Chain A
Amino acid sequence: MKKIFKYILALLFLGGMGWSCTEDFLEVYPTEFLSAEQLEAASANNPDLLAGSLNGIYTLMFEAGTGGTDGHDDFGQKGYDIYGDMLCGDMALSVSTYGWYRTITQFQATTDFTFQDNYQIWRYYYRIVRSANLVIDASGGNDVVPELEENKHILGQAKALRAYAYFYLAQYFQEAYDPSEAILPIYTNPTDPNQPKSTAGEVYTLIEKDLTDAIGLLETFSRTQKNQVNKSVAQAFLAYTYAVTGEYGKAKDLTADIINNGGYTLMSAEEVLGGFTDINTPGWMWGHDVVLDNGLDLISWWGQMDVYTYSYAWAGDYKAIDADLFAAIPANDVRKKQFLNNPNSGRYLQPINKFYDLDRVIGGQRNIETDYVYMRVAEMYLLHAETAAKSGDEGSAKTVLKRLLDERMDDTSFVDGLSGQALLNEIYFQTRIELWGEGKSYLAMKRNKAVTKRGPNHYSNVGESISYDDDRMTFEIPQLEIQNNPFID
């Protein structure tokens, strides 16, 4: 009997092996970040998920750390807007306690490829490129024209976003537009390994083609959120591109179409003093509705810019308008009120009436709920004026410029008397003050081939004339790319 027991017992345990020996014992699946296969399976009964990867690109635009670092200046597009504003000098680092942006404003990063800032900006835009390539690839590839309207809209947005990334890369990494200069590697498929540099001509051709495709594909697109690229936004990027490549007539027409048919109204005098927190402001063409679920905190644009947020702008890294630029704003211009005009305050010239949390508690907003603006229709008025003037249509330039200025000051008749370079100078000046702190001044400086000079409230290089194509004005291809891409050194 005894013997039988022990064999039975042993068999029972051996049977227990079946417990672990089942086929799927070694099959485990992630639950935090999901695999492509899991998402695909889930999508079968939940088609909304399909739009997820396109939305993901929009998420990268505002998430912290998308530049591959844990820096407090690493928070997507708005972070690189500050880089541009600091480089061109319209934004001064008037008090620098913690050191953020000090390497930018002192031009240390832009002359030294070992600085992380170079990596961050490069990594961010190429991440957008890859994400766009993944969506394009999933939609059938670069040359396909989807049949379903819905898929056209997805492909259109992805192409526009790829163009957006290459456009900024070309701005930030080429000193002056020269189609024959090799500037950047191009990737149009997610499986491409590291590539050598292509010429600026090839880069701009890709940008133009993507945007032209996008405009066609988005013809019937009526967006549900303002973070999405619609036809107007794609047109705007194409206009910006033509304005760089010198095809001013095309830029003029595109901007005219947006102004006349886009359905956006200029921000009013009241709105420019209190309308920079809300996505629903009709003058905004493109932006992001920041909600608590986005998890934005100190590491955000508001955490750098707004005195009324728990921010560096509050605690000791003050971003102010260049004192000379401020002095040039006429007293009757409503935009002069956007800045703290009290020379005795340490916060002199901080934009406390342009970008502020409406609660107005110093250092108050802790979890960010104020929105991000990426593009306004005012840009289109100014770009139209600029490209019209450059293409010889000064009449249209002045009319459109005045439509904007009428919202900012009582008497705009001085515009009528301008022509030639004086008119261009005025348009450039208006661009700088209308769009101060919105990341557009750097682009305008390059388009207008400007020579900058910094006012007395700057941290460094005060009074020095620095040309737009100075080596210090563009970023360096980062050390990590050079070390790891066998085709670039």
Chain B
Amino acid sequence: MRTKFNGILTLLLAFMVQMTFAQERTISGTVSDETGPLPGVSVLIDGTTRGTETNFDGQYTISANVGEVLRFSFLGMTTVTRTVGTDAVINVTLANDANTLDEVVIVGYGSSTKKSFTGSVKTVNSEILEMKAVSNIAQALTGEVAGVTVINTSGQPGTVPTIRVRGFGSVNGNRDPLYVIDGIPFSGALNTINPQDIESTTVLKDATATAIYGARGANGVILINTKRGRSGTSTIEVDVKSGVNMSLLERHSRIKSPEEYMEIGWNGLYNQGVVTGATDPVEYANNNLFGGRGIDPKYNMWNVDGADLINPDTGLINSGVSRKYDPENWEDYGFQNSFRSELNLNLSGGTEKSNYFASIGYLDDQGAIINSNFDRISARLNVNSEVKPWLDAIFNMGYARTETNNNGQSNDSGSIFWFTDNIPPIFPLFERDENGDFIPEPIFGGNTYDYGVGRSFGALTNSIADAHYDRSRTDRNSIDGKVALNINFTEHFSFENSFGGQYYSSIYNNLNNPFYGSAAGTTGSIWKRHEEFTTYTLLNLLRYKNDWGNHSFEALAAHEATNWLRKRSDVFKTKIVDPNLDDLTNFIVVSSPPQGYTDEWSLESYFGQVNYDLSDKYFLSASLRTDGSSRFVNDKWGTFYSVGASWIVTEENFAKDSGFLNYLKVKGSYGTVGEQAGVGFYPGYYLYETTLLGDGYSTTEQVIGNADLTWETSTMFQTGVDFTLWNFLDGAIDYYIKDTDDLLFDRRVGPSVGYALVTVNDGALRNSGLEFDLNFKIINKQDYKFNFTVNGAFLTNELTKMPIDPATGEEKLIDIAGTFGRSKGHSLYDFYIREWAGVDPADGAAMWYQYYNDENGNGVLDSGEGIPSMAEFEDENPDTEVSKTTTKTYANATQKYVNKSAIPTVSGGFRLNAQIKKFDFSAQFIYSYGGYGFDGNYQDLMDNDQIGNNNWHTDMRNRWQQPGDITNIPRLDNGTSTNYVSASTRFLTKTDYLAFNNFRVGFTLGERDLPNSGIDNVNIWVSGDNLFLMSERDGFNPTQRESGASERYAYAPLTNFSLGLRVKF
């Protein structure tokens, strides 16, 4: 590969040197804004792509003919045009303005303007990003970009959300976009980048925009650009935010009264007596209320025995029953109102040849549950210098030290959310003695917690006590950085070399105290995980850029190599000496063998791109990229390409004078992009774990490998328009079709072959959609502004081909993944489940629909006529009419597509912005309409549990209680009837929501308001995040999971209110 490439390079070099053209006359000048000279301003000759950028002093030099128009544009500033006349010097001052068409956008391996770029790109700049009290940039993107879904999976401060660009790109492969920071692919922890250091974030969506990232472009690319200094100025900016975090979003409504809980449970026991044929169901219930089929008698908090607790005639607590104590409401002890404070200081400026940006930031973000927080100290230094006239050097470096405490959030009985949402209200947080009194705790102080010996919910644990006494903490030191040297051989021809990457070292300590809980038996325990992570990217790029006449041309050729490596080691020890220390020597028993291993992957790429522009009207772009991935064994290399074109219709004479159409661009692109992550590091190999058995080796098969596994390839077609109407509405509408072939698919097999699934390249998936992004400038005056922006995405997703089943040699008919059925013609998220048919009023039993093939036509279901799974039946018996009946046996009910999908019809966000003199106001909402999700939390709370096993939702009050009751909630019978809550349409809930995501009210004082103070600018604001969520059911939050489902251990996003102050000197 190398030899061949070097050959191409030589050719290219020779070609480019030939193409140097004669010069025209030279114009120069300085571009500045209100604070001074402005570097990096794009200077373009109108109607061509000939152009340059201002240097560190805001100076530029360009060759132009008299009569040509120079266009000066810069991100966030109004574009200014000047016609070339007799003056050799043209100086320009730019004013602040957002949303201009000619703003420079950073795209893959270069920059372009919004106007000339042929693909789909959306930039979110720092003003928007800074409105939100977030710890990382991905959170700030919520609702900002059409077709970008931000899934905030946890309210734990510091959590980096999951992001999806344009639907679901793969079945089992990776669906995450690629992050690129200052040109270097980023795979560290995104929460180590202080959002305050970020100038702008650009989302690339279509093939033209992402194909240049070939290997990793299939799921979109998010480019993050950090701030730079400006020559000739020096600024100090101090920024303070202080606020409160709280858990304000609704949780599911639960039974709060212990008495009511016992009444419902007693009713379940009574029914159990009836169903199992007890001679006297009342006696049965009375006798079992406290006992082997009920609650451990030690949790009887009343002054009477089980037999005397409930009045069998009313089903209510007997009069005269009184409590020995009041059990605590666990929420009162598990949740807290907490603080969030943030302090940022940055210094920036520059001299003639160099500029710098330096910042330091501190964030303390506390969680809504006890002992959870995220703490960060970060620093960044960006230096750019013209070392020699032919050599520019860039040095960027960021450092962060983070500390994350995430107690009480494990996906098991250690979860505080599981406890607070599900524990029956009869169980106290603190242990009680015989008289119901607290027991003083001798070691830590306070009362002794109840660790639940005999408690039939979360036995032997107390997640709140654990969160106080134990430690679950990650300390991380991370560095990201880049060194780049650009050599300018000639005015048009340059060589860019950069080396950058990320490094972190982190230590996770899971310390369990020696006195209570799971490690009491081993006198304390520790699990210590050390991670060391390195990734680097080396880029060598040749660029040629030139303009002549109406033509403008740019070409680049490059080689890039990326390596990702993570080393992990784990140590487990027990028997602690000093209960406060988490160092290993402080534990004296090795309880299980220490572990350690390395995970690694590499990518190597060769790529090139050409951009051509004719008369600033017609734009063409093409790219080609070849990638090799270490993940694949036999077939490592994949080649991807794209072509894109756009046409500025309003530059044509016939469209120029139209009164309403100020701007119209039509664009189209076609290309292929690849994806190879998400299948683990070594999916090509059969993998074996080796452990000790006796004194010898023992090897067990862990992963079924597939050496032929290779690239998943997406072919993407897009067309769209960007427009401005009546100078009132800016908009963009895109339509795309993305076909993904050779899907990385975890194909399930019948487990009798000895394994459950194998990853293959098979099947095809189509995502298509329409995206819109509209900005209505309703009032646009100097001191009064009001605008409304709205974006949204319509998405359809469909499997167009299923993988081959080797047992039959044919396409697999259906692959059932949980509640979703995957088959040809259906989306990845079409529910394939049993249909809930309600409750039989006669006996309160749950019913489901059973479909059958009434072969003998007798109108009833006979043995052998039932259909277990509709997809197979319809395949074998096309056009057969089926009949439907109800069944009380869940297993007999038919699994089928129920015409409901987790994919919403449309989702997006909208924002209101207003400015009245020195006040500004902004409110952002996000919405979704038309999907369904599985409300798993509700499912937990509606189960027919044995009394004491779980709490119930208040809907349980409406359960069936006597013959004739018409209700949708079946009888409780203490667990005798099963499957009430097994997957069925009963728990499919609309995922429609409207959420108030962010607001901000600010007040700004400029230099003129503060004469002679030395202060340039003061900004004061109040902001709020995650203010409310309106959804189908209180507590059901469809925004936390990709499939819209709710889950047992979920940590709801925090609500934050902050007060901020920024002073600029």
| Residues of A in contact with B (beta carbons under 8 Å apart) | 2, 6-7, 9-10, 13-14, 16-21, 25-37, 39, 48-49, 51-53, 55-60, 63, 68, 94-99, 102-103, 106, 108, 111-114, 119, 122-123, 126-127, 129-131, 133-134, 184-185, 187, 190, 192-195, 224-225, 227, 289, 291-295, 310, 315-316, 318, 346, 363-367, 459-460, 478, 480-489
- Interface contact B293-A480, CB-CB below 8 Å: no
Contact residues in A for B337 (Cβ distance below 8 Å): none
Asked if B825 is an interface residue, CB under 8 A from chain A, the answer is: no
How far is B487's CA from A295's CA once the two chains are assembled, in angstroms?
A: 58
Q: Give bound CA distance, A119 to B816, whole Å.
A: 15
Known A-B contacts A28-B600, A292-B591; the reply to A481 vs B751 at CB < 8 A is: yes
Q: Does B1005 contact A (CB under 8 A)?
A: no
Q: Are B521 and A363 in contact (CB under 8 A)?
A: yes
Query: Residue B705 contacts which of A6, A35, A53, A366 (CB distance < 8 angstroms)?
Result: A35
Instruction: Select which of B455, B601, B702, B748 is within 8 A of A28 by beta carbon.
Output: B601
Judge whether B698 and A35 touch: CB under 8 Å.
no
Q: How far is the CA of A261 from the CA of B113 in the complex (A)?
A: 90
Is A36 a contact partner of B753 (Cβ separation < 8 A)?
no
B698 & A17 in contact (Cβ 8 Å cutoff):
no
Contact present for B487 and A9 (CB under 8 Å): yes
Q: A36-B686, A366-B522 are in contact. Are A55 and B696 (CB under 8 A)?
A: yes
CA A30 to CA B975, docked complex, whole Å:
47
Cα distance, A160 to B912, chains bound together (Å): 73
Residues of chain A within 8 A of B598, CB atoms compared = 31-32
Also in contact, A36 and B754, with CB within 8 A (given A58-B698, A99-B946, A364-B521) = no
Residues of chain B within 8 A (CB-CB) of A36 are 685-686, 688
- Asked if B391 is at the interface (CB within 8 A of a chain A CB), the reply is yes
Closest residue of chain B to A488 (Cβ to Cβ) is B750
Contacting residues of chain B (646-702) with chain A, CB-CB under 8 angstroms: 681-682, 685-694, 696-702
Rounded to whole angstroms, the CA-CA distance of A263 and B215 in the bound complex is 65
Flag if A316 contacts B495 (CB, 8 Å): no
- Structural contact, B694 and A365, CB atoms closer than 8 A: no
Q: How far is the CB of A349 from chain B (nearest CB, A)?
A: 12
Cα distance A316–B296 when bound, in Å?
9
**B890 contacts the other chain (CB 8 A):** yes
11 contacts between A and B (CB under 8 A): A6-B487, A10-B497, A28-B681, A30-B682, A39-B699, A56-B699, A130-B701, A225-B694, A310-B521, A315-B460, A486-B805
> Which of the residues A17, A315, A484 comes within 8 Å of B538, measured between beta carbons?
A17
Q: Please tell me which stretch of B92-100, B414-422, B628-636, B732-740 contacts chain A, meaning at least 4 of its Cβ atoms lie within 8 angstroms of it.
A: B628-636
- Give Cα distance in the complex from A355 to B754, angstroms: 32
B559 to A, closest residue via Cβ: A17
Q: Do A486 and B807 contact each other (CB < 8 Å), given the known contacts A6-B391, A130-B755, A364-B521?
A: yes
Whether the Cβ atoms of B751 and A48 lie closer than 8 Å is: no
Q: Measured between C-beta atoms, what is the minimum distance from A403 to chain B in Å?
A: 32
Is A33 a contact of B687 with CB atoms below 8 Å? yes
Beta-carbon contacts of B792-826 to A below 8 Å, as 1s and 0s? 00000000000001111000011110000000000
Q: Report Cα–Cα, A16/B497, bound state, in Å.
A: 10
Which residues from 850 to 881 on chain B have a C-beta closer than 8 Å to any C-beta of chain A? 868-869, 872
CB-CB under 8 A from B696, the residues of chain A are 48, 51-52, 55, 225
Residues on the B chain within 8 Å of A119, using CB: 751
Does B18 interact with chain A (Cβ within 8 Å)? no
Q: In the complex, are the beta carbons of A59 and B700 less than 8 A apart?
A: yes
Which residue of B597, B691, B702, B807 contacts A293 across the interface (Cβ within 8 Å)? B691
Let me know if B701 and A56 touch, CB within 8 A: yes
Contact (Cβ within 8 A) B592 A293? yes
In the complex, A78→B600 CA distance in Å? 38
Query: Chain A residues with Cβ under 8 A from B453's Cβ?
Result: 315-316, 363
Q: How distant is B701 from chain A, measured CB to nearest CB, in Å? A: 7
Within 8 A of A (CB), among B701-735: 701-703, 705
CB pair B540 A16 closer than 8 Å:
yes
- Size class of the B contact interface (CB-based, 8 Å): 35 or more
Q: Smallest CB–CB gap between A228 and chain B, Å?
A: 9
Tell me whether B320 is interfacial, beta carbon within 8 Å: no
Interface 1/0 per residue, B741-768 and A, CB below 8 Å: 0000000111111111000000000000
B495 pairs with A13, CB closer than 8 A: yes
Contacts of B887 in A (CB 8 A): none
The chain A residue with its CB closest to the CB of B460 is A315
Verify A98–B636 contact, CB threshold 8 A. no
For the complex, what is the distance from the CA of A481 to the CA of B755, rounded to whole Å? 11
CA–CA, A98 and B890, complex, Å:
23
The 3 A-B residue pairs with the shortest CB-CB distance in the complex, in nearest-first order: A130-B754, A485-B750, A20-B561
Tell me the complex Cα distance, A367–B89, Å: 82
Q: How distant is B847 from chain A, measured CB to nearest CB, in Å?
A: 16
CB distance from A393 to the nearest CB of B (A): 39
Central interface residue in A25, A58, A365, by most chain B CB within 10 Å: A25
Contact A17 B540 (CB under 8 A): yes
Given contacts A2-B388, A52-B697, A367-B522, contact A29 B753 (CB under 8 A): no
Please give, as numbers and ranges, the residues of chain B lying within 8 Å of A224 by CB-CB distance.
694
Instruction: Indicate if B1008 sits at the interface (CB-CB under 8 A).
Output: no
Find the residue from A52, A57, A364, A489 having the highest chain B CB count within 10 A: A52
Give the docked Cα–Cα distance between A18 and B1 (Å): 11
Q: Is the CB of B592 within 8 A of A126?
A: no
Contact check, B814 vs A483: say whether CB atoms are below 8 A apart.
yes
Is B751 within 8 A of A30, CB to CB?
no
B2 contacts the other chain (CB 8 A): yes
Beyond A55-B696, A310-B521, whether A26 also contacts B978 by CB under 8 A is no
Q: Which residues of B contact A63 (CB under 8 A)?
A: 700
CB-CB < 8 A to A195: which residues of B? Answer: 752, 807
The reply to whether B682 and A225 contact each other, CB–CB distance below 8 Å, is no
Q: Could you tell me if B946 and A293 are in contact, using CB atoms closer than 8 angstroms?
A: no
Sample of 7 more A-B contacts, CB < 8 Å, known A6-B390, A483-B748, A483-B869: A9-B391, A96-B293, A99-B949, A184-B752, A185-B750, A318-B292, A480-B748
Q: Are A187 and B699 in contact (CB under 8 A)?
A: no
- Cβ of B964 within 8 Å of any chain A Cβ, yes or no, is no
Does B816 contact A129, Cβ atoms closer than 8 Å? no
Say yes or no: is B333 at the interface (Cβ < 8 Å to chain A): no
CA distance A66 to B489 in the complex (A): 63
Does B599 sit at the interface, judged by CB under 8 A? yes
A residues in contact with B703, CB < 8 Å: 33
| A53 with B756: CB separation less than 8 A | no
Distance in angstroms from A284 CB to nearest chain B CB is: 15
On chain B, the residues within 8 Å of A95 by CB distance are 292
Q: Which residues of B contact A106 (CB under 8 A)?
A: 976
A15, closest chain B residue (CB): B540
Contact of B459 among A33, A316, A318, A486 (CB under 8 A): A316
| Partner pick for A13 among B497, B751, B756, CB 8 A cutoff | B497
- For B756, list chain A residues within 8 Å (CB): 68, 123, 480
B440 within 8 A of A: no
B596-629 interface mask toward A, CB cutoff 8 Å, 1 = contact, 0 = none?
Answer: 0111111110000000000000000000000011
Q: Write out, one digit per residue, whether chain B residues 550-587 have a CB within 8 A of any chain A CB (1) or not (0).
A: 00000000010101000000000010000000000000
A309 vs chain B, min Cβ distance (A): 9
Assuming the A-B contacts A17-B540, A112-B890, A484-B749, are A30 and B814 also in contact, with contact meaning beta carbons closer than 8 angstroms in the complex? Answer: no
Question: Which A-chain residue is minimally distant from B756 (CB atoms)?
Answer: A68
Which residues from chain B contact A34 at a C-beta distance below 8 Å? 687-688, 690
Judge whether A13 and B540 touch: CB under 8 Å.
yes
Residues of chain B in range 459-506 having any CB-CB distance to chain A below 8 Å: 459-460, 485, 487-489, 495, 497
Q: Is B982 an interface residue (CB 8 A)?
A: yes
- CB contacts (< 8 Å) of B700 on chain A: these are 56-57, 59-60, 63, 131
Q: In whole angstroms, what is the CA distance A243 to B764 when docked? A: 53
Residues of B within 8 A of A227 (CB): 693-694
Is there contact, CB below 8 Å, between B296 and A127?
no
Residues from chain B with Cβ under 8 Å of A39 in the complex:
688, 690, 699
Q: Are A366 and B521 in contact (CB under 8 A)?
A: yes
**Please, which residues of chain A bring their CB within 8 A of the CB of B946?**
96, 99, 102
The minimal Cβ–Cβ distance linking B496 to chain A, given in whole angstroms, is 9
Task: Collect the chain B residues with CB atoms within 8 Å of residue A346's CB.
Answer: 292
